[in-house]
Amino acid sequence: MAAQALTLLREVSRLEAPLEELRALQSVLQSVPLSELREQAAELRLGPLFSLLNENHREQTTLCVSILERLLQALEPVHVARNLRSDLQRGLTHPNDSVKILTLSQVGRIVENSDAVTEILNNTELLKQIVYCIGGENLSVAKAAIKSLSRISLTQAGLEALFESNLLDDLKNVMKTNDIVRYRVYELIVEISSVSPESLNYCTTSGLVTQLLKELTGEDVLVRATCIEMVTSLACTHHGRQYLAQEGVIDQISNIIVGADSDPFSSFYLPGFVKFFGNLAIMDSPQQVCERYPVFVEKVFEMMESQDPTMIGVAVDTIGILGSNVEGKQVLQKTGTRFERLLMRMGYQAKNASTELKIRCLDAISSLFYLPPEQQTDDLLRMAESWFSSLSRDPLELFRGISNQPFPELHCAALKVFTAIANQPWAQKLMFHSPGFVEYVMDRSVEHDKASKDAKYELVKALANSKTIAEIFGNPNYLRLRTYLSEGPYYVKPISTTAVEGAE
C-alpha cells in the first residue's frame, strides 16, 4: 500500500491539475499504517504538494492539507525543519487558515524536539511569521502560534530570540491590531512569565508586563475585567506573587475593591478582583491574606447578601476556595454569627437558586465541610457540626431532596456533600437516625447514569472506610456497605428466573 501511495505521489508531481490522483492518494493513505510510511520516509517528495497549495483551488487545497497531515507525520521533526523551511514560511502566510493550522502543527512538533528547535531559532523570518499569526482572525491559528512561542521560550536561546531581537518589535506591532489581539499577546507574556523568575525578568524588561498592569489599574472597567484574569494566572506562581507584591499591585487591587462601592460599573470587574484574592489566600496563607486585606472578606460577605446571581456565585465559589483547608475554615469561623448567617443564605440558595448556582453552592458546601481524618480534632468536628446545622432546619433532608431531583448534575453535587461529611462521626449519627437514609445509600436503583453511580460509590466508600462507621451504623449495615464496595459501582443484581413445567 505504501508503494502505491508513492506511485500516486509521483503522478501528482507530474500533473498540473491532479484532482483525481489527489483523491486516490488521500483514499490510499487512509489504509497505510504510519510505520510503513516511516520506512519510506526517504522517498517522500512533498515539494509538489506544497506547490499545489499555492493555487487558488479550494478542493485541491483541502485534499493537499489532508494528505500532507498524514505524510508529514512520517517525517522526523528535524527533517521537516531543515528541508521544508521555505514551505513552512509560505504556509504561515497562506490565505487559507487550514494551511496555517497544518503549518503550525508542524512547528509545534519541531519546538517539542530539542534537536529540531534550534532550526527554528535560527530562522528569524519563520519566527516573525509565527508572531504575526497571533494577529489573525482565526482563534485556532492564534492559539497554535501562542503555544509554539510559549514552548520556544522554555529555553534560554528561545527567550533571547523572542526578547532580545527585532521579534519584540514585531510582537508590539501585532498588539496594535486590536484589543483582542493585544490580550492574546498578554496571554503569551503571562504564560512565559509563569515558567521561572528568569522568564518573568525577560518579560518585565520588555515592558509588556508593566503595560498589562497599567491597564489592570486603569480607568476602563472592561479592560480591568479582562486583565485581572491574566494577573490571577501570574499569581499562581510563587515568583509571580512576589513580583506583584513588590510592585504594589496587590495593594492597588485591594484599594480598587475599597473604592468599588462608589463605582456604578464595579460589577464588571469586581468578581475577577475577588477571585484574585480567593486564589491568593489559598496559595499563600488564608489568615495572612485576610488579615492584611480585610476588604476582601468584607466584600465576599456583601456579595453573598446581593440579589445579583453573578455576585452570589462569585461569593459562593470564593467561600468554597477559602474554606478548602483548615486555616481557611478557622478564618471563616472567626467571623462568628456573620458566617452562620452566610451559611443559612448558602443553604437557601442551594434550594431555591437556578440549577447552575445550586451546583456551585453544593460544591462550595462540600469543600467547606470536608475534613481529612488526620485533621479531625474535637474542636473542628464541633465547628463542622455547628456549621451544618446553620444551613437549614433539616440540612440532611434538604440535600436528600435536592439529590432526588431529576438532574444528574444536581444529584451528583448533593451526593458529594454527603461524601464530604461521611467520615465525621456527628454526620454518621445524623445519617443513621434519619428515617430511610441508610436504605437510600444502599439503593442502587436510584442512580441511572455513570456519573451518578460513581458519585454514590464514592459516598459508600467514604462511609465504609471510616473507623467509626461499624459502631454508629451497626455491624449488619457496615457489612452491607463493604459488600456494596466489593461489588463495585456498576453492579446489577442478577434477576433469578424459575423454569415452569410445560412452558415453551
- Give percent above pLDDT 90 in the chain: 63
C-alpha cell at 49: 504538494
Q: Which residues of the chain have pLDDT under 70?
A: 1-17, 40-44, 495-504
Identify the pLDDT of residue 219.
86
Total number of residues shown for the chain: 504
Return d(Cα 338, Cα 75) in angstroms, integer. 65
C-alpha cell at 162: 523572542
Return d(Cα 286, Cα 280) in angstroms, integer. 8
C-alpha cell at 251: 495593594
Exposure pattern of 11-25 as b/e (b: 16+ CB <10 Å)? bbbeeeebeebbebb
**Closest C-alpha among 469, 478, 374 to residue 423:** 469
C-alpha cell at 194: 509563569
**Closest C-alpha among 277, 416, 300, 422 to residue 359:** 416
Handedness of CA 421, 427, 428, 430 (dihedral sign): negative
pTM over 0.75: yes
**Closest C-alpha among 55, 60, 71, 50 to residue 18:** 60
Return d(Cα 443, Cα 447) in angstroms, integer. 8
Name residue, grid cell 455547628. 386
Under 8 Å between Cβ of 70 and 81: no
Long-range contact set of residues 239-243: C-beta below 8 Å, sequence gap at least 24? 239/196, 239/197, 239/200, 240/193, 240/194, 240/200, 241/280, 241/283, 241/284, 243/200, 243/204
Return d(Cα 411, Cα 144) in angstroms, integer. 38
Identify the pLDDT of residue 5.
55
The string of pLDDT tens digits covering residues 233-264 is 999 999 999 999 999 999 999 999 998 888 88
Identify the pLDDT of residue 248.
94
Identify the pLDDT of residue 504.
46
C-alpha cell at 436: 430511610
Identify the pLDDT of residue 13.
53
Identify the pLDDT of residue 4.
59
Identify the pLDDT of residue 71.
83
